[in-house]
Amino acid sequence: YRDAERLDRVLARDFELVAPGGARNDRRAVIEWVEGNRGQYADADPPFSIDIESFDPRMAEGNHCLVTYVERQSAPQGETARRSSALFRRAGGTPNGVEWVHLHETWLDE
């Protein structure tokens, strides 16, 4: 995220990320990690990029929505791909009216 303030506003207070290796990270840990790695690839050649594909809304009920997608990251050291499941919750006062509640990522071998 380019805007740390926006990240703070879109992650729910009870947010959890399950990383591809299985580690569980709470909201604070994710924000600290993002801030600590900010600018790491600022002068990279080729530049760091993230592409999202295969977006699939799986369920929307009440105030919650579950989606899956494939995230591809390209960095100077190579490319990675992961399949992600994200749970969103409707939340007033947030960008786009929703907050991230849960994100679970799994490595894709390609």
Supply the CATH number for residue 74's domain.
Answer: 3.10.450.50
Q: Which residue range(s) make up the domain with 54?
A: 4-38+47-107
Which run of H or E residues covers position 7?
Answer: helix 4-10
pLDDT digits (tens, 9 = 90+) for 89-108: 999 999 899 999 999 999 99
Q: How far apart are CA 74 and CA 47, in angstroms?
A: 8
Checking if the pLDDT of 49 tops 90, the result is: no
pLDDT digits (tens, 9 = 90+) for 69-94: 999 998 888 899 999 999 999 999 99
Whole-number pLDDT of residue 1: 44
Name the DSSP class of 29: H
Beta bridge partners of 16: 26, 102
Average pLDDT over residues 54-75: 96
19 contacts 25 by C-beta, under 8 angstroms: yes
What's the domain count of the chain?
A: 1
Q: Which residue has the higher pLDDT, 56 or 3?
A: 56
Rounded percentage of the chain residues whose pLDDT exceeds 90: 69
Q: C-alpha distances in angstroms, 95 versus 5, 41, 89?
A: 11, 26, 12
Checking if the pLDDT of 2 tops 70, the result is: no
